[in-house]
Amino acid sequence: MASKTRIAPTPSGFLHLGNILSFAITAGLARDIGASILLRIDDLDRSRMRLEYLQDIFNTLDFLGIPWDTGPRDTADFLENWTQTKRLDIYKLGLQELANSGLVYACRCSRKDISSQMPEDGGCKCRDKKIPLESPGVNWRWLPEMGQPISYHDFLVGPVTSPIAQEIQHFVVRKKDGMPSYQLASVLDDHHFGVDLIVRGADLHNSTLMQLHLSQSMQQSNFPQAHFLHHDLLRDSLGNKLSKSAGATSVHFLRQRGMSPAYIFELISSMLDLQKKANSWQSLYTAWKTENIRSRSQKK
């Protein structure tokens, strides 16, 4: 059974209602199984990180009463003790392990370059060029071709075996600025903190596959033993998933207009079309869990 999970927001925008759904499921499941909750704030992308967004994480969690057991208690504590920049040595060791193993190659192509290259033209040629890894201005991409499908345990559906899509096989593990990608940093962070239960939206299923594929080749990772839960996304009236650019669904926006925590949780449960309306993170989790158990039973 899992012993630790994490809430892992990024300070790149104000938290929205979809984030809150994921946090409530994480907290509720943790309390159900007796796991502790880590607050892990992913601030490695310094170009998008803003102090106002960092403060919003603490403001929102406190306002909505969503708990965590370990991690920073406020912005000052985070900047002094918990920022990802404090773990750069861990990331460098991970990158060095990959370089020594020969499982990465240097690539000068941007994401736009990759998306515009046609498979029939052979795609990116950087792998064949044998560009030295220490060359300036190159990404490091994951080398191995995906062979066998990836298997893992999902808390909702049990054992899952899934292929990794061809277009994401050669994903970036080190960016052109020398910093680790999200995929690598997340794997190493979860190993560092002992996280073995990961709750995330269904849109991050590919991230699960990439991280499992990567971690299976790394010595300093217990990630392959983790349990996962991929929940359905919260969507707007047009069916689009929520994003941090959509300010009207941010908790910050709603708080400024005087909305209470009870209103926010009721709004989320209404957007999910749950039969029981929630007024707290606990009741949102309970209503969500009941609906998911019912829908799974009906499908069997």
**Could you tell me which of 124, 116, 243, 121 has the C-alpha nearest to residue 172?**
124
pTM, to two decimals: 0.91
Identify the structural domains of the chain with CATH numbers, from first to last: 4-87+194-205+219-299 (3.40.50.620), 90-174 (3.90.800.10)
Decide if 200 contacts 22 (C-beta within 8 A): yes
- How far is C-alpha 121 from the geometric centre of its chain's CA atoms? 33
Task: Tell me the Ramachandran region of residue 273: left when phi exceeds 0, alpha when psi lies from -120 to 50, beta otherwise.
Answer: left
- pLDDT tens per residue across span 162-201: 988 877 778 999 999 999 999 999 999 999 999 999 999 9
Q: Give kind and range of the element (H or E) at residue 193.
A: helix 182-193
Over range 255-278, report the average pLDDT. 95
> Is 235 in a helix, a strand, or coil?
strand
For the cut 70, the answer to whether the pLDDT of residue 130 exceeds it is: yes
Query: Which pLDDT band holds residue 12 (cuts at 50, 70, 90)?
Result: very high
User: Among all chains, which residue has been given the structure tokens 């997340």?
Assistant: 186
Rounded CA-CA distance 104/166 in Å is 17
Q: Which residues pair with 152 in a beta bridge?
A: 160
Name residue 154's amino acid: D
- pLDDT tens per residue across span 55-98: 999 999 999 999 999 999 999 999 999 999 999 999 999 999 99
Query: Which pLDDT band holds residue 118 (cuts at 50, 70, 90)?
Result: low
Q: Which residues pair with 241 in a beta bridge?
A: 235
Give the model's pLDDT for residue 238.
62
Over range 264-272, report the average pLDDT. 95
Q: Tokens in use for 144?
A: 């191995």
User: Burial level of 206, CB count in 10 A (0-12/13-18/19+)?
Assistant: middle
Over range 124-135, report the average pLDDT. 91
